[in-house]
Structure 1
Amino acid sequence: MKNRLTIALMSLFLSAISQKQVLSATVSNGSFESGLTSWTVIDIPNPDQPLAVRASGDINSNFDGILGTNVVIPSDGSFAVSHGFDGDGPGFIRLFQDIGTPQAGESIQFDYRAGWELLSFGAATQDRTFSLQIEPGGGGASLASYNIFTAVAGTTSGLGSNTDTGSLTSTIDLTPFAGSSIRAAFVWDIPESFTGPANFQLDNVRIVSGSVPTAVPEPFTIIGTLIGGTAALRMRKRLKSTGKE
């Protein structure tokens, strides 16, 4: 009897532990305080300004001396990823990381800012875009693509130093991919070759959740309840046998 009770208690204990090990997405080094650790970069050939991690106050792009100097302004910590959002296109700039297995209610959130001059410099006829692509963990065909930002051909973010969008935040729901291992890939599309100076900054990539977690009793609580219930049952039997119940 004792052996069966012990086995039952251990089974419930292990079951409670397994329930608490909820699968979840995780972004490593999302604020780039450790450089590009955990990230993979594929830059466009001959970038105007290569993708790199730069410190607060570092020059992000000098717009070829036309629009004034733009500096890095991290939204979290002291570093951010930045690049010139231009190059010898058509081509793409990619920055990606496998982020594990999201659960329902989780989202990926990130901060960015951009500056561009596609109006009076060069001959831009096509928009440049920034998107988030969700791919299978380990790589593969895109499962979904979300356009986040478009620098429209024939427009400018303004003239002068640090003329950009200011810090913006985007949030993408990962619920459609719950239970699947995925990769988050940031993609900048440069459809033409050197058709206007620009700059782009990305920072503070993180996982957020708006769902209320389901409460799972601690293993000790479950075992304690069972032991208490067993003791109460034995006492009930004793009282019944003596006629005192």
Structure 2
Amino acid sequence: MKFIRKLCVVLIFGFSSHALLAAEILVNGGFETGDFTGWNSTLSGGVDCWTDWTIGTAGSETGCLPLSAPTEGTYAAYNAFDGFASSFYTLSQDVILPNGNLMAELSFDITAQWFNGGALARVFDLNIVHDGVDLGPIYHFEAAAGSDGAFDWTSFNFDISDLLSDYSGNVITIEADVFIPEQFTGPGGFGLDNVSLNVSQVSEPSVFLMFLMFLGLIKASRFNKS
């Protein structure tokens, strides 16, 4: 009977405890190279209150309202959070998801400040895109029209395992968008840092382990009969 009880424990452990192989699959998520290595950016230029995404160390790189320096590391990505009507400031990175069952966690830090909002809200979205189709957005923020506001570096974390369950082995895009809906809505600034996509590959019990379990069941059956 002791053998059978031990075998039951092994069976339960073998089928319920899968090995997790965790890995960060984003490149330069903290922008610590001091540039956009690993990222694609609109880089439409501009100065002052129509500055596109840029890399900085002090929070003054918005070209408009200054923000806090990065709380971790040396660099962060900033933009003016203002500009010409219908401006999109986009940062994106393509990644290849591992094959198999996945557990995935997406995290990032943002900061913002804005004054004298216009008639339409400024927007920040963080999306996941596959083959040109948005799977998100994962996070959506609006600076309300006609408002003043600010918040310091704030961390967000999302379990996106279910969202990515049908896309293992595929290329997906992590995309950060700032949208300015109308001409010069008022001075502002936006910051993004510490973007991370941590993926754990959930491995099923190996064939060899299941074979050993099968042999154990046969032995347990014979032992029980005797």
Q: TM-score normalised to the size of structure 1?
A: 0.64
Q: Residues 25-104 of structure 1 correspond to what in structure 2 (within 5 A)?
A: 26-34=25-33, 35-43=35-43, 46=46, 48-55=50-57, 57=58, 59-61=60-62, 63=64, 70-101=66-97, 104=102
Is 1:133 matched with 2:107? no
| 2: CA distance, partners of 1:94 / 1:196 | 20
Q: Residue 60 of structure 1: SS of its match in structure 2?
A: helix
1:60–1:72 Cα contact (<8 Å) kept: no
Q: What amino acid is the match of 2:157?
A: T
| 2: CA distance, partners of 1:25 / 1:101 | 11
Question: Following TM superposition, by how much is the alpha carbon of 1:77 offset from its aligned partner in structure 2, in angstroms?
Answer: 0.7
Q: What amino acid is the match of 1:42?
A: T
Structure 2: segments with no counterpart, 5+ residues: 1-17, 216-226
Which of the pair has more CA radius of gyration? Answer: 1
Aligned length: 186
Question: Following TM superposition, by how much is the alpha carbon of 1:48 offset from its aligned partner in structure 2, in angstroms?
Answer: 1.6
2:103–2:202 Cα contact (<8 Å) kept: no
Q: Give CA-to-partner distance per residue, 1:57-103, whole Å, 9 cap, x none.
A: 2513464xxxxx62441132100000101111212111000122165
> In the alignment, which residue of structure 1 is the partner of 2:195?
205
Calculate percent identity across the aligned residue pairs: 26
Residue of 182, 191, 214 corresponding to 1:192: 182
Q: Residues 208-223 of structure 1 correspond to what in structure 2 (within 5 A)?
A: 208=198
| 1: CA distance, partners of 2:44 / 2:147 | 22
Is 1:145 matched with 2:131? no
CA 112–165 in structure 1, closer or farther in 2 if over 3 Å, else same: same
2:21–2:201 Cα contact (<8 Å) kept: no
Q: Residues 4-15 of structure 1 correspond to what in structure 2 (within 5 A)?
A: none
| 1: CA distance, partners of 2:202 / 2:192 | 30
Q: What amino acid is the match of 1:31?
A: G
Is 1:169 matched with 2:155? yes
Q: Give CA-to-partner distance per residue, 1:154-197, whole Å, 9 cap, x none.
A: 1112xxxxxx3011112233211131431110111111111101
Alpha-carbon RMSD across the aligned residues, in angstroms, is 3.3
Q: TM-score normalised to the size of structure 2?
A: 0.69
Greater share of strand: 2
Q: Give CA-to-partner distance per residue, 1:36-68, whole Å, 9 cap, x none.
A: 00000014674622311111x2513464xxxxx
CA 23–183 in structure 1, closer or farther in 2 if over 3 Å, else same: farther
> In the alignment, which residue of structure 2 is the partner of 1:236?
none
Q: What amino acid is the match of 1:53?
A: I
Q: Give CA-to-partner distance per residue, 1:129-174, whole Å, 9 cap, x none.
A: 11111111xx5122322343211111112xxxxxx30111122332
Q: What amino acid is the match of 1:132?
A: L
> In the alignment, which residue of structure 2 is the partner of 1:9?
none
